[in-house]
A and B are shown apart, each in its own frame.
Chain A
Amino acid sequence: MIRTTPFHARLSELNDQQLYTHWQGTLSPMRYSHAPKHEYFAVRNSAGVFDTSPLYKYAVTGPDAERLLSGALVRDIRTCRPGQAQYTAWCDDRGFVMHDGVAFRHSTDDFLLTAGRPALSWFQELAAGLRVELEDVTDDYGMLAVQGPRSRAVLAELMPEAEKLGYFDHVPAKVADAGVTLSRTGYTGDLGFEITVPADDALAVLDAVLEAGRPHSIRPFGEEALMTLRIEAGLPLVDVEWHDARLAFSDADCVTPKELGFGWMLRGVRDGSRRFVGSDAIRRELVDGTSRWATTGIVVDPEDWDRLYREADLFPPKSEHPWPYESMVLDEDRVEVGYCTSFVYSPVLQRHIGIARVRPDLAAAGTALRLELAINHHNTTVRVTTTSMPFFDPERKKA
């Protein structure tokens, strides 16, 4: 029996497509209407809700909770104060990334960690001998992302706390008589919030959000819209940008945090002042400069794109649906120098963009490269330029 989320009963009523993925064995809508792009625009121009409940959720509590997490997570959890959250990752002992997730710190010794893949046993093994309890609370909570420029106005009607909540902060709040955690988090790169709610209260909270959002044209969005949004935000996705290092069969399928673009998480690693699983290997990588790749954004030259298709007697496609495959990145001599893991047309940027991994010496913003693609069943290349990410980064996201 496929799992459903606590919001499913209501959200499935709003879904006239009935197209689902099995996100970690849970029904997850691809789209709610015939137009996922309209759902996308709800997030970029008004407000959208996304059911993010399929994420695994682990409660980490006890006097040694911080000690466990600081020895396991790539980012320094000690800098995360109660009421704050951190986007983070964890690695195997070779310094290759396993998963990513968000750690919410509720108090000194009380954390909730989300994860895209199951990870309980791994943390349990690391917790041996520590005074810490680990519990899989995935089924106990629903998580509802409310994202977009109007999300604050919508939620402030229900929870005044939304008005002042800072980026990646969270606060206990009440909606429809239910106690929830309201966090300024999300996976869209826009102004946005997430509501973590006990499963039994999920429908009441969802109804309240939808009702408050109605005058603001709120609408649910599915995974198709989410993919466009997260690529614009430059946010990586497990099994697309990388694979769980403990499950991969070859090192080519593994990446280090530095190679994945998570270098900013690595404060204190180079000088050895901070240690966690994989940090020794990562420190050697940083000191010796042995990174194989650097993650970069690429932006397609629109004139070249149009020319290639027009010369082939075709209309230049501009699809907000990402390519379902990797494509090679080449240099001007048509030598492979990297690969593009996510590629999509960005409606707000009016350009094709991609998340790519290239030889580190080619990652400086503004480097001219080429992306391989097939037109009329022949391989060709289109001009691209490297750029920093996020591609789309509105002020309102953190304001």
Chain B
Amino acid sequence: MSHEYDAIVVGGGHNGLTHAAYLAKAGLRTLVLEKNDLVGGAAITEELLPGFNFTTFSYALSLLRPEIIHELNLVEHGFLPLMMPSSFHPTGDGDYLLFGDDHAQNLQEVRRHSPRDADAYERYHRDLDRVCQAIRPLFDNAPPNVFGNDPDDAADVKWLMDHLGGIDRKTMHDVVRLLTGSAKDWLDDYFEHEAIKGYHASSSIIGSKVGPMSPGSGLVLLFHKMGEHDGHLGSWAFHKGGNGGFTQVLARAAQAYGAEIRLGAPVTSVLTDGGRAVGVALEDGTEFRAQVVVSALDPRRTFLELVEPRELPLDLVDNIRRMKFRGVSAKVNFALDGLPVFPALPDTVDHYGGFLNIGPTIEYIERAFDAAKYGWYSEQPFIDAAIQSVVDPDMAPPGKHVMSCFVQYAPYELRGSDWETERQAFGDKAQAVLESHFPGFGDLVLHREVVTPVDIETRTGLTEGNIFAGEFLAPQMYFFRPAPGWSQYATPIEGYYQCGSGTHPGGCVIGSPGRLASARVLKDLKR
């Protein structure tokens, strides 16, 4: 087999695969090198017990850009997002909020708790949708290079300014309030009921070392709202077979366009010659040559590990060194003998169709965050759970279930201990919270897998276990992602590019960095 390619993609996560598919579709002889024995990066599905399929890390789909579905013909390769029909939020007092696919029914559910919040709920979604609409062109296009001085850059900046100029006053103000403020401040402007605020605040802290009262949590909330399922903004789906099922679809698409994927092939360095990328070297010394090398790894690895930092400008190295990762998320995944019982809804399963949101109020979530500030995990963590087998029975044997629990906060660095020591104690905390909402939960547990931030880092390569390959903080977004001046997917090394979630627009199973980076590569190659 030849070791010469047109392009080599380092890392077979979902962005690496997306990127490779676009390059291969454009006719480049493309090679994907993945260190693990399975593609997908942090979007994998593993059969840990016979018949029980665990989404070890990432577990749901929403942010994926719809253009990618069509441009890469993913349906032909098995793309199948299964709508989450419900979203369930225990309110901590035995009651609950249960939202579904019927807007009017949702309004009644809000009104049951607070008549005042019913029309606020409508305004809230309208205003937030308007913000999403306003920033979508920024989200879905490469950031202009505001630091550049060639005519293309000037045209891009003009495009940006024209677009911003067209946004109405209220929406522009809402954009800024969300990008800079806290989720709590934003939600307080609409709702009075603590559980309704808690429900909406849950997406403001996912994967981020912020509490819902921290400035910056609004940005995280907004980012998650940019997702959609079949045109419904902020809606989520389970991909058939979990998110690993999705990355298998991407791999098939990439291969169908002619890309080659090598598993168990960890890249240790990008080879350069005269300041230009010429290929990569694997751990075992094997070398592959290509005029284009694209890193789908996070910025730390892209700039500080795969290449010699001394080949890079100092300010870039400084920026990447101080980029914040600080993972605070863990997973506790369960194989269950049956469905848990929520005492107020004993005879139905329909509240298990989507997310089970364990974070009753903003204060609950904020208190869970407090521990993380001081280097410890939450006594009573926030949990975003999903029993995927309810919607996709192929995930577990008939009558049995798999439950994915995203648990926060679990800071990467523990003060006075380490994650190997704390693994089971942390799992117990999460399980105890579930037991308090679903009495008898523990009796259903057939198997428990605790995935710590260190596991996330070790297995996926995500620095400090940060699920977004770099935190969602304003100074790390848009034309600052991953560093000022390097937000357009190129690097200072000619022929070396970046396409991971550490680039614009950012993390989640989104595909956008892979897609936008491919446009940059192809433009540079004049393809």
Does residue A179 face the partner (Cβ distance < 8 Å to B)? no
Q: Is the CB–CB distance between A302 and B70 below 8 Å?
A: yes
Partner of A41, one of B83, B86, B105, B389: B83
Q: Is the CB–CB distance between B86 and A35 below 8 Å?
A: yes
| Chain A residues whose C-beta falls within 8 Å of the C-beta of B289 in the assembled complex | none
Q: Is the CB–CB distance between B101 and A35 below 8 Å?
A: yes
A316 CA to B230 CA, complexed, in Å: 9
B172 to chain A, nearest CB (A): 15
| Chain A residues whose C-beta falls within 8 Å of the C-beta of B449 in the assembled complex | none
- Given A33-B350, A38-B101, A320-B230, A215 contacting B83 (CB threshold 8 A): no
Interface membership of chain B positions 243-282, coded 1 if the CB is closer than 8 angstroms to chain A and 0 otherwise: 0000000000000000000000000000000000000000
- From 27 to 44 in chain A, residues with beta carbon under 8 angstroms from any chain B beta carbon are 33-38, 41, 44
A63 CA to B129 CA, complexed, in Å: 68
Partner of B399, one of A46, A150, A214, A318: A214
- From 390 to 416 in chain B, residues with beta carbon under 8 angstroms from any chain A beta carbon are 390-394, 398-399
Does residue A348 face the partner (Cβ distance < 8 Å to B)? yes
| Chain A residues whose C-beta falls within 8 Å of the C-beta of B74 in the assembled complex | 350
A217 CA to B75 CA, complexed, in Å: 24
Q: Is the CB–CB distance between A37 and B398 below 8 Å?
A: no
| Chain B residues whose C-beta falls within 8 Å of the C-beta of A289 in the assembled complex | none
Does residue B353 face the partner (Cβ distance < 8 Å to A)? yes
Partner of B100, one of A35, A303, A313: A35
With most chain B CB atoms within 10 A of its CB, the pick from A35, A214, A347, A348 is A35
A308 to chain B, nearest CB (A): 13
A28 CA to B83 CA, complexed, in Å: 24
A150 CA to B397 CA, complexed, in Å: 13
B416 to chain A, nearest CB (A): 46
Q: Is the CB–CB distance between A349 and B85 below 8 Å?
A: no
Q: Is the CB–CB distance between A318 and B231 below 8 Å?
A: yes
A310 to chain B, nearest CB (A): 8
Partner of B231, one of A36, A44, A214, A317: A317
| Chain B residues whose C-beta falls within 8 Å of the C-beta of A348 in the assembled complex | 75, 80
Q: Is the CB–CB distance between A35 and B231 below 8 Å?
A: no
Give A40's nearest chain B residue, CB to CB.
B83
Q: Is the CB–CB distance between A347 and B83 below 8 Å?
A: yes
Does residue B312 face the partner (Cβ distance < 8 Å to A)? no
Give B80's nearest chain A residue, CB to CB.
A348
Does residue B102 face the partner (Cβ distance < 8 Å to A)? yes
- From 187 to 244 in chain A, residues with beta carbon under 8 angstroms from any chain B beta carbon are 214-217
Q: Is the CB–CB distance between A35 and B85 below 8 Å?
A: yes
A30 CA to B398 CA, complexed, in Å: 28
Q: Give chain B's interface secondary structure class.
A: mixed
- Number of A-B residue pairs, CB cutoff 8 Å, is 83
A296 to chain B, nearest CB (A): 20
Q: Is the CB–CB distance between A318 and B230 below 8 Å?
A: yes
Q: Is the CB–CB distance between A38 and B85 below 8 Å?
A: yes
A38 CA to B70 CA, complexed, in Å: 23
Does residue A345 face the partner (Cβ distance < 8 Å to B)? yes
Q: Is the CB–CB distance between A33 and B85 below 8 Å?
A: yes
Interface membership of chain A positions 37-68, coded 1 if the CB is closer than 8 angstroms to chain B and 0 otherwise: 11001001110000000000000000000000
| Chain B residues whose C-beta falls within 8 Å of the C-beta of A37 in the assembled complex | 83, 85, 101
Give B396's nearest chain A residue, CB to CB.
A215
| Chain A residues whose C-beta falls within 8 Å of the C-beta of B133 in the assembled complex | 313, 315
- From 243 to 275 in chain A, residues with beta carbon under 8 angstroms from any chain B beta carbon are none
Does residue B438 face the partner (Cβ distance < 8 Å to A)? no
- From 353 to 371 in chain A, residues with beta carbon under 8 angstroms from any chain B beta carbon are none
Range of interface residues on B (Cβ < 8 Å): 20 to 34
B62 to chain A, nearest CB (A): 14
Q: Is the CB–CB distance between A315 and B129 below 8 Å?
A: yes
Give B71's nearest chain A residue, CB to CB.
A303
Q: Is the CB–CB distance between B393 and A150 below 8 Å?
A: yes
| Chain B residues whose C-beta falls within 8 Å of the C-beta of A306 in the assembled complex | 66
With most chain A CB atoms within 10 A of its CB, the pick from B69, B82, B86 is B82
A34 to chain B, nearest CB (A): 4
A365 to chain B, nearest CB (A): 16
A315 CA to B232 CA, complexed, in Å: 9
- Given A316-B231, A317-B231, A34 contacting B105 (CB threshold 8 A): yes
Give B390's nearest chain A residue, CB to CB.
A217
Does residue B121 face the partner (Cβ distance < 8 Å to A)? no
A116 to chain B, nearest CB (A): 29
A335 CA to B2 CA, complexed, in Å: 55
Partner of A45, one of B67, B70, B82, B232: B82
Does residue B445 face the partner (Cβ distance < 8 Å to A)? no
A102 to chain B, nearest CB (A): 29
A37 CA to B231 CA, complexed, in Å: 14
A347 CA to B230 CA, complexed, in Å: 7
Q: Is the CB–CB distance between B100 and A34 below 8 Å?
A: yes
Q: Is the CB–CB distance between A45 and B231 below 8 Å?
A: no
- From 465 to 503 in chain B, residues with beta carbon under 8 angstroms from any chain A beta carbon are none
| Chain B residues whose C-beta falls within 8 Å of the C-beta of A318 in the assembled complex | 230-232
A347 CA to B353 CA, complexed, in Å: 17
Give A157's nearest chain B residue, CB to CB.
B398
- From 376 to 398 in chain B, residues with beta carbon under 8 angstroms from any chain A beta carbon are 389-394, 398
- Given A33-B85, A316-B231, A317-B231, A217 contacting B393 (CB threshold 8 A): yes
| Chain B residues whose C-beta falls within 8 Å of the C-beta of A33 in the assembled complex | 85, 100, 350
Q: Is the CB–CB distance between B75 and A349 below 8 Å?
A: yes
A315 to chain B, nearest CB (A): 6
| Chain A residues whose C-beta falls within 8 Å of the C-beta of B67 in the assembled complex | 303
Give A33's nearest chain B residue, CB to CB.
B350
| Chain A residues whose C-beta falls within 8 Å of the C-beta of B66 in the assembled complex | 302, 306, 350
Partner of B70, one of A46, A315, A345, A350: A350
A136 CA to B161 CA, complexed, in Å: 72
Give B100's nearest chain A residue, CB to CB.
A34
- From 322 to 365 in chain A, residues with beta carbon under 8 angstroms from any chain B beta carbon are 345, 347-351
For this complex, 24 residue pairs linking A to B, each with C-beta atoms less than 8 Å apart, are A33-B100, A35-B85, A37-B85, A37-B101, A38-B353, A41-B82, A45-B82, A45-B393, A215-B399, A216-B398, A217-B389, A217-B390, A302-B70, A315-B129, A315-B133, A315-B231, A316-B231, A318-B230, A318-B232, A320-B230, A347-B83, A349-B75, A350-B69, A350-B79
Closest 7 CB pairs of A and B: A215-B398, A318-B231, A215-B399, A38-B85, A35-B101, A34-B102, A35-B85
